[in-house]
Amino acid sequence: MSGRPAAVILVVGLMVSCSRTPVARSSSVIDSTFARGDSLYKALNYDSARGVWITALVEARSSSDSFSQARLLTEIALANWRVGNLAEARLAQQEAIDLKRRLRLGDSSLSRSLNGLGLVAYDEGKLEESVQLFERAIAAARAAGDANGLGKAFGNLGLPQQQLGDLNRARANFRMLRETGRTLKDARLESNGLLNLASVDIWAGDPAPAIARLDSARQLYRTINYRTGEQEALAQLATAFELTGEYDRAFAMLDTSLSHARQLGRTDEEGDVLRLIAGLHGKVGDWRRAIRYYEQADSSMRTTGSVTDRGAVIRGAATAYLSLGNFPRAQSGAENALRAHLASGQILEQFDDLLLLGDLAARRGDASGAYDRLRKAAALAERLDTRGATLSLGLAEARAADRFGDATRGLRALRSLAPNVHESDLWAQWESSALAARAYTRQGALDSAAASGRRAVAAIERVRAGLGSEALRATLIAERVSVYGDLVLVLLRQGRVDEAFAVADAARSRSLLEHLSGARTGARTGQGLSELSAGEDLLRKIDVLVQRLRTTRPTIPPQRVAEADTAAAAVIAQLNAVRGEYEALMTRTARRDPRLASMLGMNVVRLDDLRAALAPDEALLEYLLVRDRLLIFVVRRDGFRVMDEALDPATLSQRVELLRDLWGSPDGDWHLGIPAARALDHTLLAPVRGSGLLKGVGHILVVPHGVLGQLPFAALQSSAGRFLIEDYALTSLPSAAALGALRQQPISTAARTGGQGLAPFPTELPASVGEVAAFKSMMPNAETRIGRRATESAVRAALGQERPVHVATHATLNVRNPMFSRIELARSSGRADGADDGRLEVHELLGLLVRSPLVFLSGCETGAGRAWSDDPVRGTADLTLAQAVLAAGADNVISTLWRIDDSGAASFAGRFYSHLRAESVRRALAAAQREMLRDARYGSPYYWAGYTLSGEGRFGRSAQKVAHPSVSTSSPSSSAR
C-alpha cells in the first residue's frame, strides 16, 4: 500500500438546477408535479423526487407531451444516479438526449443531459467515454452561453482526468468550477470546486491544503443546508486526517459521513465510505474487520453497478489477506485489481496495484519479479510527478531491499525520499525510520540504528496517543510490534538494558493502566455509547434478535444454540452482523477522559519502581516475541537479566494450540500433552530456571506476549516431571507497568468481609450451588443469590462494592464479536432493557466502575481470547471477560481458559476458598490446583490448569477465623459451562 490513503472519494455531486428553455407547452398538472419533485430533489429527498417525477412521466406519455418527457427523464436519471441506480440512470438519460435532439431543444438543456450521462459513465468505470461526454457538454454550454453549465462541465471533466493520472488538467478544471461559483455567487458550485481541488491535494500527498479547502467547503455547504455536499466533504476530510496520522478524527468523520449517506439513500456513497472505513481499520492493524468492511463495500457497489472504485476495494481486501498470511487470495486480488484498472485506464490505482504486487513478489523471495513491478511503478510515479507518489515508491523500494537484506540499497532509497517526509507524515515517519534502523543494524551502525528505532517508536506512539479506543491502540501496536522488538535488540547489544525493558513493555496493551487509573481516582467516564443514538439503535436491534432467537429455540439455553440449526441460522446471521456493526462503532467512538490521556507519560515502566513493587520472593517474567527470537526479561527485587533465545514462531503456536486442544477437554488421554508441556517449559522456563534467578522465588508474575496469553503456564512441566504450579504460585499481568498501578493502594480491611455469590442456573448447573456455598462459608456476612435472584443488575451492584464476588454460571466466548463475549445471568422479571437482559457482555463491563478486590468468574472461557491469525505475536489484542473486569477496576480476577466441568468447578471452588481463609489469593489458587492435580478424579490438567489469576494477587493475606466450608463436590449430573 502506498503512503497516501488507500482510496479517496472523488466528488461528483456537481449537478444543480440550471435554466431550462421550453420550446413547447406542457400541462399545468405536469408542471406542478414537476415542481413538487424539484422541491424534493433540492431537499435531498432523491427517492421521493424520483417517484413524483415517474408519476408525471406516465401522465406526459399518455398525453404525448414529448417536451415534458424529455425534461422529466433528465431529472429521473439524475435522481437514479444520486441513489446509485446507474443502469436505470443511463437508460433514462440516453432517452432524454434522443428526445431533446429530435425536439431540437436548446444547447443548455442538452448540456445538462450530457453532464448527467457523463457522471453515469464515470461511475461505471468508462472513463474515456465520460471524458467525451463532458467535452460535448462543454461545447453545448459554450454554444448556449450558459456560464453555470460550462463551469459544471469543466468540473466534471476533471474527475476522469484525475483518475487517468492527468492531475494538472484536473486541477485546472476544478479551479474553473470554483471560480464559476464565485463569479455567479453560487455557493454550491464554489464548494464543489473546493472539494475536488482537495481531492487532488490528497492524491498528491498534501493533506494540509486539502483540510483548509474542505473546512471552507463545509462552511459554504452549511450556509445552503446542502447535506449531500457535507457528506462528501466529511469523507474526504477523513482521508486527509488519515494522511496526518489523526486516525481518531478520521474515524469520526467517516462514521458521520456514513450516517449521512444512509439517511440520504445514497447507496453508491455508502459503498465508498465503507471502503474508506475498511482501509482505515487496516491502517491500525485491524485486518479482519477491514475485510468485513471491504465485503460490505463490494456488495454495495455491485448493487449500484458502480465500477470506478471496485478495483480499489479488491486491492484493499488483497492487502488485508496478505497481512493475515493468506498469500493466494492476496495474489489473486492484486492481479484482479490491476486488470480492472488497466481496463479502465486508472493510472493512480495502477500505481498502487504495482506496489502491492511488488511487495507480494518480495515476500515470496522473487527479487526479479519485485523489482520489475517497482520499475513499472516508477514509470507511473514519474508521469504523476507528485510528492505522494515519490514517497510511496521510495518506501516500497526500501521494503523490498529490506526483504532481500540489501542494507545499502535500502538506505539509498530512504535517503532519496527523506526530503518528501514531512513532520505530519506519521505513517511515513515510522516506516522509513523502522526500515533505516534495520538497515543500520545490518551494517553494524548501532548508534544510528538506535536513533532511527527511537524515531520509529515515537511516531507510532504519537499515532497511538491520538486513538481514543484501546482496542484500536492494541491492534496498532500488535501490527507494529516488530518495530519495538528491533529497537529492543539494538539497545540490548548496546548494553542499554533498562531502556530495552521499557521499550519492550511499551509494546503492549495499556487498557488496564488507563481504565484502572481512572477507577482509582474516580475520573472514569467509561467507554459506553449511551449518548450515541446510533449505538442505542443497534443495541435495541440486538435485543430484538436475541429474543427472537430465544423464541425460535425456547427449550435450549441461548448459550447452547448451535449455529448450524436451520431454524435459528438466519436469526444468528443477522445477530452476528448487527453485533459486528455495534462493536465496530463502539471501538471507533470510544473516548478517554482527558485526565487519563495526560497520565499516559506516567505509565512508562522504570526498573527501580518495578523492583520496589516486588516482594523478595517474587519474580516477574516478561516475554517478547520478535520474529525468530524470544526475549525473556527477568526482574527481581535485587536483580534484572535478559535472555535471548532462538525460536521458531510456527512451532510455538502449534505447541500452544496442541496443549489447549488436549487439555481443554475431559476426553482422551491427557498424558499425550506432556511432551508439548515439557517442550514449552524448555523454551519458556528452563533458561530462567537454569540461570538460578528463580532460587528463593515462590511467586512468578507472568507478562505474556501474543499467543502465550492463552497458554496454561501452571501445567508446564520441567524435565524433572514437576508441573510449574507445584513449585510456584502464578499471576498474569498485561504489562509490567500494570503491577505498580495495581499495588499503588493498600488493601482495605473492609474488603475481607461480606461479598456476594451468584448461581443463576441451579438446575442446569447443580454444582454451582455448592460453589456459592463455599464462598459464603469463607466470607463473613456474605450473601448468596441463586436462580432468579442472580440477575445482571445484582452482579452490576455487587461489582460496584468493595467486596468479593463469585459468579458460577455459563459464559460464552464470542469469537466473531469479542466485545459480546458474555456472562449468562438471570433476567429481571420487571425490566426488559439492556441493563438487565441476563447478558453481561465485555462492552458493558468496560463501562462499569468495579471496586471489588476479588472477582471469581467460574464459567467457560472467561479468560480466553481469540487468535488474530496464524501469527503468534497477535494473540490477544481483544479484551476478554477477565481483562474487562480487571480493567474496570478489580484488584484480582480468577478466570478460565477453556470450557469447564460443573462438578469439577465446584470441587475447585471449595478447595480454593478453604485455603483463602489464611492465604493470599495467589497462594490459595496454587494450593487448590495442587490438590486437584493429586486427586485421582480431577488429576487431568483439564480440571485445574485452565484457572488463571490476573491482578496483584494479595487479597486475603491475613488469616481469617472462619469455619472450614463444608461443600459437597458431587452432583446429580455434570454439565459443561
pLDDT tens digits for 216-272?
A: 999 999 999 999 999 999 999 999 999 888 888 898 899 889 989 988 888 889 999
Could you give the C-alpha distances from 565 to 571, 572, 915, in angstroms and in order? Answer: 10, 9, 44
Give the per-residue SS3 of 261-328: HHHCCCHHHHHHHHHHHHHHHHHCCCHHHHHHHHHHHHHHHHHHCCCCCHHHHHHHHHHHHHHCCCHH
For the segment 131-158, what is each residue's pLDDT rounded down to a tens digit? 999 999 999 999 999 999 999 999 999 9
- Residue 326 CA to residue 316 CA, distance in Å, equals 14
Q: Which amino acid is at 94?
A: Q
Cα 505 to Cα 908: distance, rounded to the nearest angstrom:
33
pLDDT computed for residue 747 by the predictor: 57
What's the confidence (pLDDT) of residue 552? 57
d(CA 8, CA 4): 9
Distance CA 286, CA 292 (A): 10
| Closest-CA residue to 151 (of 141, 161, 143) | 141
* Pairing of the two strands 629-636 and 618-626: antiparallel
Three-class SS state of 783: strand
Residues 407, 428 contacting (CB under 8 angstroms)? no
Q: Kindly tell me the sign of the dihedral angle through the C-alpha atoms of 357, 362, 363, 369.
A: positive
Q: How far apart are CA 575 and CA 569, in angstroms?
A: 10
- Terminal Cα-to-Cα distance of the chain (whole angstroms): 45
Structure confidence at residue 975 (pLDDT)? 53
Residue-level pLDDT at 862: 56
Contact 825, 792 (CB under 8 A): yes
Q: Tell me, what DSSP letter sits at residue 805?
A: E
Whose CA is closest to 580, among 871, 277, 246?
277
**816 secondary structure, DSSP code:** S
729 touches 741 (CB < 8 A): no
Q: What is the pLDDT, as a whole number, of residue 876?
A: 41
Identify residue 10 by its one-letter amino acid code: L
169, 388 Cβ separation under 8 angstroms: no
The pLDDT, as a whole number, for residue 640 is 92
Nearest to 193 by CA among 158, 150, 163: 158
Q: Please report the sign of the dihedral spanned by the C-alpha atoms of residue 186, residue 191, residue 196, residue 201.
A: positive
Structure confidence at residue 194 (pLDDT) = 96
What Rg, from alpha-carbon coordinates, does the chain have?
32
Residues 6+ apart with CB under 8 A from 331: 318, 360
Separation in Å, CA 931 to CA 358, 509, 698, 725, 910: 58, 34, 17, 11, 11
Rounded Cα distance between 811 and 558, Å, is 11
Residue entry with cell 535472555: 643
pLDDT score for 585:
62
Compute how many other C-beta atoms are within 10 angstroms of the C-beta atom of residue 412. 15
With beta carbons less than 8 A apart as the criterion, state whether 953 and 932 touch.
Answer: no
Chain-centroid distance of CA 308 in Å reads: 26
Non-local (6+) Cβ contacts of 691 within 8 A are 634, 641, 643
DSSP letter (8 states) at residue 633: E
Q: Quick check: 382 and 340 in contact, CB under 8 A? A: no
Residue 570 burial by CB count (10 A; 0-12/13-18/19+): exposed, middle or buried?
A: exposed
Write the DSSP assignment of 394-462 as a string of letters: HHHHHHHHHHTT-HHHHHHHHHHHGGG--TT-HHHHHHHHHHHHHHHHHHT-HHHHHHHHHHHHHHHHH
Question: Could you tell me the three cell numbers for 703?
Answer: 507478562
CA distance 767 to 681: 34
Whole-model pTM: value is: 0.77
Query: Quick one: residue 811, left, alpha or beta (phi over 0 = left, psi -120 to 50 = alpha)?
Result: beta
Cα separation, 771 vs 894, in Å, equals 14
Query: What pLDDT does residue 973 have?
Result: 43
pLDDT (0 to 100) of residue 599: 26
Residues near 132 by beta carbon (within 8 Å), at least 6 away in sequence: none
E-strand spans in 874-920? 892-896
Neighbour-count burial for 155-164, b at 16+ CB within 10 Å, e otherwise: bbbbbbbbbb
Torsion (CA) 63, 64, 65, 68 in degrees, nearest 10: 100
CA-wise closest residue to 527 among 467, 459, 443: 467
Task: Give the whole-angstrom CA distance, residue 403 versus residue 899.
Answer: 42
pLDDT at 598: 26
- Residue 504, CA distances (Å) to 155, 204, 507, 604 in order: 52, 36, 5, 10
Helix and strand element counts for the chain (H, E): 41, 14
859 touches 808 (CB < 8 A): yes
Cα–Cα distance measured from residue 585 to residue 531, given in angstroms and rounded to the nearest whole number: 13
Q: Which residues of the chain have pLDDT under 50?
A: 1-25, 512-513, 515-533, 536, 554-564, 591-602, 750, 866-878, 957-974
The helix-helix angle for 267-283 and 227-243 (nearest 10°) equals 20
